[in-house]
Amino acid sequence: MSERERELVSFIADMREEEAVELARAMLEEGADPFRVLELCREAMETVGARFQSGEYFLPELILAGEMLEKIGAMAKPLIQGKSGGEAKRLGRVLIGTVHGDLHDIGKNIVTFMLDINGYEVKDIGIDVPTQKFIEEIRAFRPSVVGLSGFLTLAFDSMKETIGAIAAAGLRDQVKIMIGGGQVDETVRGYTGADAFGTNAMAAVSLCRGWIRG
């Protein structure tokens, strides 16, 4: 990691918002890879999360961290869009939302964005999405893939419940279901009944590529 990259991670982790946003802006203007800048933000978020867990940070810091990431993300995203050559042909439909009880959406928004620029028609139905809403949207939008996002441990139960309800509604055979956000792994995948899990936005794209033949 370069000196400046390390500095960006520290500014975010230390809640120095103005300096973080300005440094990110300068790096992007000078041609830094926007994916790399987003990755540095993610790394900083890990430190923020650890400090929150140890009692050094409280909710206001989590909120500020979320705001910083959104600001930097808003600067990085148009550059990624430029790189991918703009509008691609639509390969298939993906429905995505954060499961009920969970309000985290920064990771989901990055996944939505990456799927979009990689050619999928994505419908993002937001945060704290009730089980019934997923079912209604599957019926109306007819996606090939459903993505469930959630950061909290309790979101694993919401994911399980949502997938169970999709099955009870007779729709399970029509969609592939992927989960992500937080500490998902193979155990969580098995627990929730999803078809696959992904730990980052590119994993979501790869899963869709495997399931939807363009």
Give the nearest residue (CB) to ligand B12. 180
Min dist CB 22 to ligand B12, Å, is 20
Min dist CB 76 to ligand B12, Å, is 12
Distance in angstroms between the alpha carbons of the first and the last residue of the chain? 37
Q: Is the CB of 28 or the CB of 38 nearer to ligand B12?
A: 38
Q: Are strands 121-124 and 176-180 parallel, antiparallel or unpaired?
A: unpaired
Q: Is the CB of 3 or the CB of 53 nearer to ligand B12?
A: 53
Q: Give the CA count within 13 Å in the CB-facing half-sphere of 27.
A: 26
Min dist CB 82 to ligand B12, Å, is 20
Q: Greatest CA separation found in the chain?
A: 54
Q: Is the CB of 3 or the CB of 175 nearer to ligand B12?
A: 175
Distance of CA 103 to the CA centre of its chain: 12
CA distance 181 to 165: 21
Three-class SS state of 182: coil
Min dist CB 170 to ligand B12, Å, is 22
Q: Is the CB of 119 or the CB of 180 nearer to ligand B12?
A: 180
Please give the residue ranges that form the binding site for ligand B12 (CB under 6 A).
42, 45-46, 48-49, 52-53, 59, 62-63, 65-66, 101-108, 110-111, 147, 149, 151-153, 178-181, 198-201, 203-204
Three-class SS state of 3: helix
